[in-house]
Structure 1
């Protein structure tokens, strides 16, 4: 292994990495693919297939969305009185600076956006308020010329000449609406290109003051580009209204059953599955209206209900319409979410890391990291109503959930490529070609024999823990293509040296295990981007030679309370975007990384916690370059001295000046004297300051120069006398 150059070349030639042999092998595969493509082209020519001139993602959707119209019987709308009242205020009473005011209605498929717009459109007060009323169903293709033709037809009752040019059409439109107070409903808009919208809007602004345009859409992004008005977000029906709608349809032919306690009980259990979505309620209730007996209803609840959202009926195709309109890169990301159990609280950062590990996220801008680009993907899906309950929590984390129906859609579109295994039977049903799998019982892992698995997530651990080594051996032997491996709370104490054979691994989560040490071989997995070791409370050290993990972007070891130091060379991991904790070596006996190694990690984001700062020696002479000042992306900084005071503490804290972009600063048990660091007033974006003792603070400098500050927490600072209101004293 340690031979000269010629010996290495000979060894490489006879190894499996021989580039000449690899080239021959791949060359044959490429030729086979080219031959297949040529065959497809010949067949296409034989049948006279035409080349499309429209995007593949949307070209086939026109036939799936029926044209909507403005009329709906009043008694068909249930539970939307409050929504109607809110919209009527915007339509009739709100005084806008603009002549034409645009009101977006947003919600996912099946909630009743069109029905609500019809409800408002047909109100007598609305009819009497406007001189001209028009309704146009836009749907998938945002063709300005076609939309203008449809608006003219709605306004005049007669379709314009098909041979007219755009110039002639726009004149007709402006003549028709110019100076008139009009109401226009543009139903079901998908276009997210601002330029396309602006080109249409410019033709509609000649209406008289008080004119309104109501836009219905599934996308918050569409709502944002169409108007300045806060969109009216449509939600599911209340329990009372949902039951009213269900009862009206399910018991339509049999009024007596509506008071039968058995039918009511089963019906309410079924209703819980509908999520308050009118379309779902109508579809299921309609199905039940044809079932005569209590036994039929119970059988439906226990057997068919779990499958109804996967039938090609009225539910999934409506929601799938949203999916069909996604760009290809978002389709893969959404389908991947099928791996989460229903109602699971999804950590957004982790989800994006999964997407990056699978290669779903492509670098669009050199200044943006893959993680930032992936988060942009997530925001796009939120804007299109694919996620709900998005919450930003403490420590900069963000979580979200998927509606049950959206989860059904993800399962439907993922097909056999992804699967959740929670029993022996479901394990046997997983296709061998499955690429992504989540399991809630580690004993089920050996039941899946597929060799192409790219994701293995373990969401719970209820299996046979006495066979951990066997499980590891099985994973490493069979799942060599893994990109993502999550073995959270597995309770193992060691990792086999052979883990380096998972050479494609990009994401590895070993959090909350009883590890004391990691094998050096883990540093051979050079594709690894994310290594999570949180809550491994017995872990004493990270592997040496960690600098070999040149692609590592996230290294987390929060609450690893036994960690004694950081490995020397960690400062060479310049791609790191997250380092949750840096532990200063207590006595230097471990040959650990010096604090100065942090100076080169200027891509760090999120939160950084530095522990054992009291063990930094010779701080007065040591730091020639700024340690934290260049970390412009860092949002939260926690500095912990953890113990006795030291003469160097004043100088050290001064040297730990962060970048002005910092938002949260926590200082724990600093042993300095009354002089607080002079840089505090320069960190003008601070939102949160947390100071914990014991310490020797006599006073705090003024915070009047910190305009963003919202929280100031001071705890166990027994020598603190006052807060200085004169910033000049802070330098005394």
Structure 2
């Protein structure tokens, strides 16, 4: 993020319009040149600083001060640039223009004096920040190679998965298929709820997708429905989404909950159905019971798969014992790691040294498929033995500082290795609520409006 702001500042300081209107008219040119050189020097060590900030509080504090200064400088240049455009667009001959500017509400002499003082203050802040870099042992780093990563921010899930994407899990597949297809399963309710519980990144959704698309499952059930729940447990939204999953048409937004629940019960009444409710977090039993009432009209033998990280959710949703998902076996974990890490590499690069380091790294992954995929995809673009060893010795410890199934450090690894301009684009998505369906073209236009996306070809 800081590198992207620094890049933007340097680009603005190089703007011909800014230099002409401000650097020459108000004699700021030397100050602007000094600021540009200082920011350029700091920018050269930013990549190293951002990586070191994960483990060093000193670097983290330095980076926070730098970010504050960068944003203040960016705001100041915004003000300058707007004023430069205003002056450039004013009509009339030179003398009339200068008189009009002087007697305008924004007196240029006062404006220039104020801005001159602000530039000197910003310069002093950056000079102080640059001096501190000597004690932090920051080094200049080349820009990381742009690559694609398989780990991404949690988003709306869907029901499809390719069979070859799920490596291993044979025992889990067999056991869960039996729970879904067993016609002799004894229950006092028509609809049996099967909770799948496990830490984030273990592959609960992927396993549910496999079951949903299995030929025997599709042959058995009359109706197949998939709904992602996530953070917001809103009964009206959930009912509308279940109806949409049945009909492939969005429900009328003007309908009240009572009208929607009647539609839902009409759709499932007497039908043998399978419903997947993916990623439930809500632990309020009363709210779950309200939804459950509407789902009990299916034919005997209907099933609801619930995926969740919470054992409390599993307990309030079902009388059955939850199916607790564990990490991959050693063999399956190694198969997944090799597939991702060596997918793009030549056979010669798969020699014993890389295999040995890979197995040492894999020991720390606890069998978490998401962790394995993220780390393996990061290593897949690293060509030398030293790069692999450096990752194992320096980066892996910070990535795997997991507690209670926390996977944020692992996902941050993907973020840290993104090019700077893409970090801004990725972080911008925080403005959307979780599980919001993003219109890609609108998002790109917003990126462009923010200045995150530059034209690769002026034409």
Question: Shorter-chain TM-score: what band?
Answer: 0.5 to 0.7
The residue correspondences of 1:667-706 to structure 2 (distance < 5 A) are none
Q: Displacement, 1:408?
A: 6.8
Q: TM-score, normalised by structure 2?
A: 0.54
Structure 1 residues 114 and 258: CA distance shift in structure 2, 3 A? farther
User: What corresponds to 1:75 in structure 2?
Assistant: 164
SS of corresponding position for 2:275: strand
Unaligned runs of 5+ in 2: 1-151, 411-459
Task: Tell me, in whole angstroms, the C-alpha distance in 2 between the residues paired with 1:255 and 1:275.
Answer: 28
Q: Displacement, 1:65?
A: 3.2
Deviation by residue 1:274-332 (Cα, 9 ceiling, x = unmatched): 1110000000000000011212111111122223357xxxxx8xxxxxxxxxxxxxxxx
Tell me, yes or no, if structure 1 residue 199 matches structure 2 residue 290. yes
Q: Say if 1:186 and 1:214, in contact at 8 Å, map to a contact too.
A: yes
Unaligned runs of 5+ in 1: 1-62, 311-315, 317-337, 339-385, 387-402, 410-732
Q: Displacement, 1:259?
A: 4.4
User: What corresponds to 1:84 in structure 2?
Assistant: 173
Residue from 233, 254, 264 that aligns with 1:163: 254
Which protein has the bigger helix share?
Answer: 2
Task: Tell me, in whole angstroms, the C-alpha distance in 2 between the residues paired with 1:82 and 1:258.
Answer: 33
User: What corresponds to 1:212 in structure 2?
Assistant: 303
The residue correspondences of 1:343-354 to structure 2 (distance < 5 A) are none
Q: Say if 1:258 and 1:264, in contact at 8 Å, map to a contact too.
A: no
Tell me, yes or no, if structure 1 residue 127 matches structure 2 residue 218. yes
Structure 1 residues 246 and 123: CA distance shift in structure 2, 3 A? same
Q: Displacement, 1:90?
A: 0.5
Q: Say if 1:247 and 1:258, in contact at 8 Å, map to a contact too.
A: no
Q: Displacement, 1:81?
A: 1.4
User: What corresponds to 1:627 in structure 2?
Assistant: none
Count of matched residue positions in the alignment of Structure 1 and Structure 2: 258
Tell me, yes or no, if structure 1 residue 303 matches structure 2 residue 403. no
* Higher RCO structure (Cα 8 Å, ≥6 apart): 2
Q: Say if 2:371 and 2:407, in contact at 8 Å, map to a contact too.
A: no
Q: Say if 2:201 and 2:407, in contact at 8 Å, map to a contact too.
A: no
Tell me, yes or no, if structure 1 residue 95 matches structure 2 residue 189. no
Structure 1 moving runs of 4+ over 4 Å = 405-409
Q: Say if 1:104 and 1:223, in contact at 8 Å, map to a contact too.
A: yes
Structure 1 residues 126 and 235: CA distance shift in structure 2, 3 A? same
Task: Tell me, in whole angstroms, the C-alpha distance in 2 between the residues paired with 1:65 and 1:295.
Answer: 33
User: What corresponds to 2:244 in structure 1?
Assistant: 153
Deviation by residue 1:393-418 (Cα, 9 ceiling, x = unmatched): xxxxxxxxxx6x57979xxxxxxxxx
Task: Tell me, in whole angstroms, the C-alpha distance in 2 between the residues paired with 1:290 and 1:236.
Answer: 26
SS of corresponding position for 1:203: helix
Q: Look at both structures and tell me which one has the larger radius of gyration over its CA atoms.
A: 1
Q: TM-score, normalised by structure 1?
A: 0.34
User: What corresponds to 1:185 in structure 2?
Assistant: 276
Residue from 383, 390, 395 that aligns with 1:292: 383
Deviation by residue 1:131-179 (Cα, 9 ceiling, x = unmatched): 0000000000111110000000001100110000011000100000000
Q: Say if 2:198 and 2:326, in contact at 8 Å, map to a contact too.
A: yes
Q: Displacement, 1:258?
A: 6.8
Structure 1 residues 408 and 289: CA distance shift in structure 2, 3 A? closer
Task: Tell me, in whole angstroms, the C-alpha distance in 1 between the residues paired with 2:384 and 2:330.
Answer: 25
Task: Tell me, in whole angstroms, the C-alpha distance in 1 between the residues paired with 2:153 and 2:370.
Answer: 16
SS of corresponding position for 1:202: helix
Deviation by residue 1:458-496 (Cα, 9 ceiling, x = unmatched): xxxxxxxxxxxxxxxxxxxxxxxxxxxxxxxxxxxxxxx
Which protein has the bigger strand share?
Answer: 1
User: What corresponds to 1:108 in structure 2?
Assistant: 199
Deviation by residue 1:360-403 (Cα, 9 ceiling, x = unmatched): xxxxxxxxxxxxxxxxxxxxxxxxxx3xxxxxxxxxxxxxxxx6
User: What corresponds to 2:95 in structure 1?
Assistant: none
Task: Tell me, in whole angstroms, the C-alpha distance in 2 between the residues paired with 1:120 and 1:181.
Answer: 16
RMSD of aligned alpha carbons:
2.2
